[in-house]
Amino acid sequence: MLNSVGVGGSEKAWGLSVGFISLVYSGCRTLPSTGTSFGGSVATPNEGITSVNVKAGGLTPEGYQLIADGVGWEPRTTGQARDLIINARHVVTAWDKGTLAGMARASGTGAHYAHLSDIAVLPHLHGRGFGSAILRHLLRLVDREVRNDATVTLHATPGTEPFYERFGFNPSATPFLMTRSRQE
């Protein structure tokens, strides 16, 4: 039921540094992939990533826990982490030299609403394009599912708003909530 994007290849992680993101977003809806894999170039060479592979799965509960611990998020049990992964519409992961470098999840109804969360990248990899690649691919997956009048949300950590604005998100009247209108 999950789609995931990976750069490189293993499930090992050291932890990530990012805040929770939640947007309001419009898009089109397609059913989640059940194992289809595809890849493509997602970043310029100076961003440090050459390709991202999209496949079902890609994030284990232990990988989620390592990322959450690394960024100082509230601890989750293995069962809680598993449920977050299983109940996501999409899970996107980025890999650096075989090590988990970042992740993000999308949840929601699909056609009418999507919420992006758990967007995180290892602190020592900030500024190398991993976050951009993760968000770009997650938005592509969400865009395929949601209708043009759908809402996509994310909660931006204070100070990260300019990053999300580059992807068309705008601050909302709700603190830390940014919105994005679907561009056709």
Taken in order of first residue, the domains within the chain and their CATH numbers are: 4-180 (3.40.630.30)
Pair of tokens at residue 39: 């890849």
Pair of tokens at residue 176: 């830390």
pLDDT of residue 15: 28
Return the residue matching tokens 């830390």.
176
Confidence band, pLDDT 50/70/90 cuts, at residue 57? low
CB-based contact 77:61 (threshold 8 Å): no
Over residues 33-37, mean pLDDT: 29
pTM of the predicted structure, to 2 decimals? 0.68
Does residue 80 have a pLDDT over 60? yes
Name the more confident of 66 and 8: 66
- What amino acid is encoded at 51 in this protein? S
Over residues 166-174, mean pLDDT: 84
From CA 2, how far away is CA 4, in angstroms rounded?
Answer: 6
Does residue 86 have a pLDDT over 60? yes
Buried b (16+ CB within 10 A) or exposed e, 138-150: bbbbbbbbbeeeb
Confidence band, pLDDT 50/70/90 cuts, at residue 171? confident
CB-based contact 63:183 (threshold 8 Å): no
Among the ranges 40-44, 106-110, 113-117, 153-157, which has the highest mean pLDDT value?
113-117
From CA 134, how far away is CA 93, in angstroms rounded?
Answer: 7
Length of the chain: 184
Does residue 91 have a pLDDT over 80? yes
pLDDT of residue 183: 64
From CA 169, how far away is CA 63, in angstroms rounded?
Answer: 28
CB-based contact 4:136 (threshold 8 Å): no
CA proximity to 116, closest of 15, 23, 183: 23
CA proximity to 18, closest of 114, 165, 130: 130
Reported as a single tens digit per residue, the pLDDT across 126-152 is 888 888 889 998 999 998 988 888 888
Query: How does strand 113-121 pair with strand 151-155?
Result: parallel
pLDDT of residue 118: 94
From CA 73, how far away is CA 125, in angstroms rounded?
Answer: 18
